[in-house]
Amino acid sequence: MTHRPFPILLEDNHLLAVVKPAGLPTMGVDAACPSLYSLAQQYVKQKYHKPGNVYLGVVSRLDACATGVIVLARTSKAAGRLAKQFRDRVVHKTYWALVTRRPEPPEAEAVNWLRKDERQRKMVVCDAAAPDALEARLAYRVLRQLDTAVLLEIILQTGRKHQIRVQLAARGMPIVGDRQYGSRVPFPAGIALHARQLRFVHPVRSAPIELVAPVPRTWHRYGVQ
């Protein structure tokens, strides 16, 4: 029986959708370090007895500290068509986050301009006229008031680096466990940011696809399951 390195939400001849655990980079790390990409390659190679290198196209990413659904393309055709959906912003991306301060109003759209601060090695809010500034848009709403945190649903409208983390922190709501962006509340593994759902059109079959990733056990202590 082939070992599954992470939960699999969808697997066919064209796509492989998985649930990324906290602490695992999507890709772009030293070959000696595990990544979601390398583990997925090993899984496909072993299961389907593929010789040589296994093709996988990464069309979406998550920060290493975050969890949730990621979809990989198993063919270049699927990768190109799915990447176009992401570029055209027709992929519906929903995230869950835990914060300690309830936002007022409880539902709003957030718009900022972001740039990378090389000295601090993180993204920062900036003026629209700043060099390399990128517009960042999302919508959030309170899903539930918990005993020690607030559960937010975030609909991502653009895909900037660290976007949700920066925009919530800029409004006084750093994500639980996210020390890089101001949280002083510990979280057992990674940070309390979870890519909950992806909705898109299958790049070959043209059928609507909805992927929902269960939250990790680390969320259960907050009453989220």
Q: Would you name the residues annotated as active-site residues? A: 63
**Ranges assigned E (strand) in 75-217:** 92-99, 107-117, 122-126, 134-145, 150-156, 193-201, 208-212
Token pair listed for 26: 């999507």
With a CB cutoff of 8 Å and minimum separation 6, the contacts of 132 are 115, 116
Whole-number Å distance between alpha carbons of 31 and 179: 27
Q: C-alpha dihedral over 28, 32, 34, 39, to 10 degrees?
A: 90
Q: What b-and-e string marks burial along 96-122, b requiring 16 or more CB atoms within 10 Å of the CB?
A: bbbbbeebeeeeeebebbbbbeeeeee
Is residue 41 within 8 Å of residue 57, measured between CB atoms? no
Residue type, 45: K
Three-class SS state of 100: coil
φ/ψ of 164, rounded to 5, equals: -60, -45
Is residue 3 within 8 Å of residue 43, measured between CB atoms? yes
